[in-house]
Amino acid sequence: MADYITFDNAQALSYIEQLGEFFEPNAQLTCNEFGDGNLNLVFRIADQNGNSIILKQALPYARCVGESWPLTLDRARIEASVLKKHGLVCEQHTAKVLHTNDDLAITVLEDLGHMAILRSELNLAKTYPKLGADVATYLATSSFYYSDFYLKPAEKKALVQEFTNPELCSITEDLFFDDPYRACERNNYAPELEADVLRLQQSPQLLRQVAQLKHLFFSAPQSLLHGDVHTGSIFADQSDTKLIDPEFGFFGPIGFDLGSFIGNLLLNYCAQNGRIKETPKRRQMQSYLLTQIQQCLNDFENIWLALAAQHTRDLSLQAPGYAQHFVEQIIKDALGYAGTELIRRTIGLAHVVDIDGIEDDSARLQVQKQALLLGEQLILHAEECENKESAYQLIVSLIQ
Ligand code: SR1
Ligand code: MG
């Protein structure tokens, strides 16, 4: 990475001009850095006619913490490569990569600015009817085609190597499975939550289930994951849904991505109790969120099983009932991972604005307590769910 420099607006613009690929030769270009994520710089370069592209650059440290938390630039390669791989099998729901430069840790992407970041929209109680179905299509398709059901063994092993992502996985291992369950400087929560946090940290049953989820995360290269499917990694409009930002991608347990998505919808469900005062409007939004979770579970299973029935190439994995058994285990895993997402986003380092943006202190605390309890119960009961219906029923029973 000898040639790496961190871009400012002028350098990003000049880089795109020199490439000469994306705009008319005499275009009047402007550039604006507008990233608000935890890790990277994000520039929009636009011409006078409204054409635009996105240039994303990884910083050599975590943006949300600063230079005291160094971070590999290789994540830019991983992110662009996951987008390309997922785009091959699910073009419809994957942001398109236009150019990469590994030395500068740069990815140039299509500008999805005509769509909206899902998290902000859910916080405004805006709804997107295709959300659950589209995310299910993305997760089922990408996870099937990069699994042992489809890939040849040698091909899969080579990809597992290519997508080895130890530094970013280590962040997830710490933030999801370690920090919230012990006293840790990175944890971030109000003193009023201390009793709730101690309840989690002192529950042997919970710690055992979290250990199992972490162990699976370490040791189950089931497919090429996105690795960070929260609602800030999703663009939506009324007719489409696109996934961005898979820099945490690696070969891991399929339930992790599905669970992260469900966990984020549930975080928003809890947050609406502190955001929307009028009961009918709040219930309508919460019912929308539950419907999307149900749709996502149903479609995920149906698409996965249809792909497995038609395209499983490994003879042994074609055994009657095996694909069904495998998907049922993914759904159990997903409920557990959803629980860890609820807990780590409430008391760990990286919170969600859905909850932190609630202005009233007491309303926010109530929501945080609900998110912690829901996360805990999901982790404790995930393995009891025999199928997608009982998984959905568990969620409903815990939340109402
Ligand atoms: C230091 S990174 C914190 C979080 O932001 C990312 O989007 C991931 O979710 C990570 O856990
Ligand atoms: Mg991200």
Structural domains of the chain sorted by starting position, each given as residue range(s) with its CATH number in brackets: 9-110 (3.30.200.20), 116-399 (3.90.1200.10)
Which residue owns the Cα nearest ligand 1 atom 5? 38
CA proximity to 25, closest of 16, 33, 34: 16
- pLDDT attached to residue 37: 85
359 known ligand binder: no
Give the distance (Å) from ligand 2 centre to CA of residue 39: 7
- pLDDT attached to residue 36: 87
56 known ligand binder: yes
CA proximity to 252, closest of 353, 349, 341, 333: 333
- pLDDT attached to residue 400: 83
| Ranges in the chain, pLDDT < 70 | 1-2
Give the distance (Å) from ligand 2 centre to CA of residue 80: 13
**Residue 265 CB neighbour total at 10 angstroms:** 22
Given CA atoms 195, 38, 207, 386 in this order, what sign does their dihedral have?
Answer: positive
The most distant pair of C-alpha atoms in the chain lies apart, rounded to whole Å, by: 66
- pLDDT attached to residue 2: 64
Which residue owns the Cα nearest ligand 1 atom 3? 350
- pLDDT attached to residue 89: 98
Give the burial string for 143-152 (b: 16+ CB within 10 Å, else e): bbbbbbbbbe
74 known ligand binder: no
Pocket-forming residues, ligand 1, beta carbon under 6 Å: 38-39, 62, 64, 171-172, 175, 228, 230, 350
173 known ligand binder: no
